[in-house]
Structure 1
Amino acid sequence: MKLNSILKSTLLAAAVISGSIQAKPVYVATTAIVEHPALDAVRDGVKEVLEENGYSGDDLKFTYESAQGQPAIAAQIARKLVGDQPDVIVAIATPSAQAAVSVSKNIPVVFSAVTDPIGAKLVPTLAQPGGNVTGLSDMVNVKQHLALIKEFIPDLKAVGVPYNPGEANSVSSVAALKEAASEMGIEIVEAAAPKSSDVMVATKQLVGKVQAIYCPIDNTIISAAESVIKVGIDAQIPVFAGDTDTVARGAVAAVGYNYFDLGRQTGELVVSILNGENAGNIDVKMAEGTDLFVNPKMAARMGVEVPTTVLDRATQIIK
């Protein structure tokens, strides 16, 4: 028995020296409430930063799961991930972040693309939030968005907003939008769409009541943006968006973040945690940088022309 033990120890030492026993890879688990270009770009930005910092190949286990727009599935995914014990959970968009934070008591959670982290009860404060949670907010300047719409429609009086009242981020965005609109003498007409399949019906309810339609940072609405755009074309009502990715899908214009860059900013937080920093000691960051995207072809299809002042400062013109 003693000889066998010595032999086993010798073989184990040889294996370690030869490198045949690999160190456990860093495990970063990502999850999002739904798949659409903006949220997919966040995920890709996170992974790029990890790879740039040496977490790649056999040294990184990187997984992704979508909740397909269903908060109940987001909760299931969160529980599964906690059982899998990754080094960090990256939760993209408010419903997935809420699900992850509610069940993860020890595993660090980094949220991203969350409009109102405090309102969503993810953190008690943006500065050193404590616990095991930090992240990045994509709170937008909605007054700037209304000003952009007004450049297209100088006599703007009413803007229609389809949104999911079940998404905390969307409720916060609509509240901010109504406050800004009131100061500008603009009425906000709401249309509730709790599910992606409700989006077209909700948007049609706005026809005849508004001069423009605005898609807020709402995962339900953005995932079904083509439905909103179809209504805009059919009713000759221009559709604007809170995110630039939706412009390539047919919205007339948007001032917003580049969500790949937002993902990279999120990735920097993940790297800090992997390097030993406590998530709760890291301030929640606000997304940086804004772009102006315009789509002249879709503007024409919806009965408006892109003003020269907008074209002159556009960072990207969709052909």
Structure 2
Amino acid sequence: MKGSLNKLAILLFGAMLMLAACGGTSSNAPKEEEQKPSGSNQEENQKEEPAKKYKIGVTQIVEHDSLNAAFDGFKKALEDAGLEVEYDVQNAQGDPNNNPTIATNLVNAGVDLIFANSTPSAQSVASETQDIPIVFTSVTDAVGAELVESMEKPGGNVTGTIDNHPDAIPNTMKFLKEQLNAKKVGMVFNSGEQNSRAQVDTAKKAAEELGIKVEEASVSTSAEVKQATESLLGKVDSLYIITDNTVVSALESVVDVANNNKLPLMVGEFDSVRNGGLGAYGFEYFDIGYEAGQMAVKILKDGVKPADIPAQVPQNLKLVMNKETAETIGLEIKDEWKAELE
């Protein structure tokens, strides 16, 4: 009897161990299953959202150093802001008739923003869309070109930076008169460019106040620049080339005529000084392009509307001279002229 009781006790103890083991397994299993989704959620939360890639359309009237520098500045500003950008770049190759087609192409491409590099380029895209933000640069008279309502309050979908400091042309005419003893200044420009006509009118007004005369020679293509410059020989004692895209793209022709005839050639910006102009009251086009790029960052990254971003004039106006050109025409650079081309 006692043996039977011992056997029964052993059987009961074994059964209890089996139940305990089963109970342990069933209680732990759900916990493991619950941890799996929790762990996978944490991994998903740790994954970073991919950076947004913006598509920017670019329209530029022609290839030359100043406009290219402005585009380089624009791209650098977006790069510095950490934006990932794909550019759709289209160039009119100096033919304004190509601008409407370029504008239509960029609008149909569904770009996030359009960078317009020149007055005619900006005018074409502005007339094509009122929905896509437009940031311009290398524009001389944004209000006169009807791109903005005013510099302070652009209105609409367009803003940007202009390449016309209000003191640049008056200072240049004063320099020609007081430092170079100019009496008759020749100006070659494309009369079909609204910004060029505005600059020449400003120059003529400043010249009249100083008692000097302006002789005009107009062109419609870069191929006409050399002949137009030569037509001024014997009529002028100096030359002044403003920021006219048609003429600047063929500046080498003007420099050759000026140097061969020992005529001082003042220009509108530093790249033209680097390319042989005698001097300029100007600024770096890279800088105004960079400032335009900062505006684009505000629009794309911060959601600011172009209408709420004031258009800007160049921030740093200064005189630079080309020593080599001065030597070529037999002119000594005076100490008071200060800056030489770096």
The answer, yes or no, to whether TM exceeds 0.5 is yes
1:317 maps onto 2:321 in alignment: no
Contact 1:44 1:260 in 2 (8 A): yes
Mapped to 2, the partners of 1:220 and 1:168 lie a distance apart of: 12
Please show how residues 82-93 of structure 1 align to structure 2 within 5 Å: 82-93=107-118
Q: Alignment partner of 1:285: what SS? A: coil
Which amino acid in 2 is paired with 1:87?
D
Provide, for residues 129-177 of structure 1, a one-character-per-residue CA deviation record: whole Å limited to 9, x for no partner. 21111111121321101122235413x2110000000101100100100
Aligned pairs for 1:161-200 within 5 A: 161-200=187-226
Report the Cα distance in structure 1 between the residues aligned to 2:209 and 2:49, rounded to whole angstroms: 65
| Residue range with higher mean Cα deviation, 127-136 or 268-277 | 127-136
The Cα of 1:22 is off from its aligned counterpart by 5.3
> Kindly tell me: are residues 267 and 20 of structure 1, through their superposed partners in 2, closer, same or farther at Cα, counting changes over 3 Å?
closer
- TM-score, scaled to structure 1: 0.88
Indicate yes or no: 2:144 matched with 1:96: no
Deviation at residue 296 of structure 1 after TM alignment: 1.7
Closer/same/farther in 2, CA of residues 19 and 202 from structure 1, 3 Å limit: farther
Once the 2 structures are TM-superposed, how far is the Cα of residue 127 of structure 1 from its aligned partner? 2.2
**Offset at residue 108 of structure 1 (A):** 0.5
The whole-number CA distance in structure 2 between the counterparts of 1:247 and 1:203 is: 18
Cα pair distance change 1:233/1:107, threshold 3 Å:
same
The letter for the 2-side match of 1:82 is V
The alignment yields a C-alpha RMSD, in angstroms, of 1.9
- Contact 1:28–1:61, Cα closer than 8 Å, also in 2: yes
Give the one of 68, 83, 98 matched to 2:93: 68
Q: Find the residue that maps to 1:286 and give its secondary structure.
A: coil
Q: In the TM superposition, what are the counterparts of 1:276-295 in structure 2 within 5 Å?
A: 276-295=303-322
* C-alpha distance in structure 2 between counterparts of 1:24 and 1:277, whole Å: 17
Indicate which of 68, 72, 78 corresponds to 1:50: 78
Q: 1:28 aligns with which of 56, 72, 79?
A: 56
Task: Name the counterpart of 2:3.
Answer: none
Amino acid at match of 1:217: T
Distance 1:205 1:303, change over 3 A: farther
- How far the C-alpha of 1:282 sits from its partner, in A, is 1.4
Report the Cα distance in structure 2 between the residues aligned to 1:208 and 1:19, rounded to whole angstroms. 74
Residue matched to 1:259: 285
1:223 aligns with 2:256: no
- Alpha-carbon separation, structure 2, partners of 1:20 and 1:35: 40
- What is the TM-score normalised by the length of structure 2? 0.82
Deviation at 1:24, TM superposition (A): 5.0
Distance 1:40 1:52 in 2: 18
Unpaired stretches in structure 1, ≥5 consecutive residues: 1-12
Question: 1: CA distance between counterparts of 2:341 and 2:136?
Answer: 30
Q: Which amino acid aligns with 1:158?
A: K
Partner of 1:8: none
In 2, Cα distance between equivalents of 1:19 and 1:45: 33
1:3 corresponds to which residue?
Answer: none
Q: Determine the C-alpha separation between the residues in 2 that align with 1:22 and 1:81.
A: 25
> Does the 8 Å contact 2:74/2:292 carry over to 1?
yes
1:9 is matched with which residue? Answer: none
- Residues 17-49 of structure 1 deviation map (CA, whole Å, 9 limit, x = unaligned): 997995651112222111111111110111111
Task: Please list the CA deviations of residues 280-301 of structure 1 after superposition, one character each: whole Å capped at 9, or x if unmatched.
Answer: 1211111210232211221222
Q: Give per-residue Cα distances to partners, 1:43-75, cap 9 Å, x unaligned.
A: 0111111011111xxx32123222111111122
Question: Could you list the per-position Cα deviations for residues 98-120 of structure 1 after superposition, in whole angstroms to 9, with x for gaps in the alignment?
Answer: 11111022101111111101111
Q: Which runs of 5+ in 2 are unaligned?
A: 1-40
2:171 counterpart letter in structure 1: Q
Q: Aligned letter for 1:186?
A: I
Q: CA deviation at 1:266?
A: 0.7
CA gap of 1:250–1:28, structure 2 versus 1, over 3 A, is same
Which of 307, 314, 318 lines up with 2:334 in the alignment?
307
Aligned to 1:6: none
Instruction: Choose from 152, 167, 172 the match for 1:145.
Output: 172
Find the aligned partners of 1:171 and 1:28 in 2 and give their Cα distance.
30
Q: Does 1:160 align with 2:177?
A: no
- Matched-pair identity in %: 37
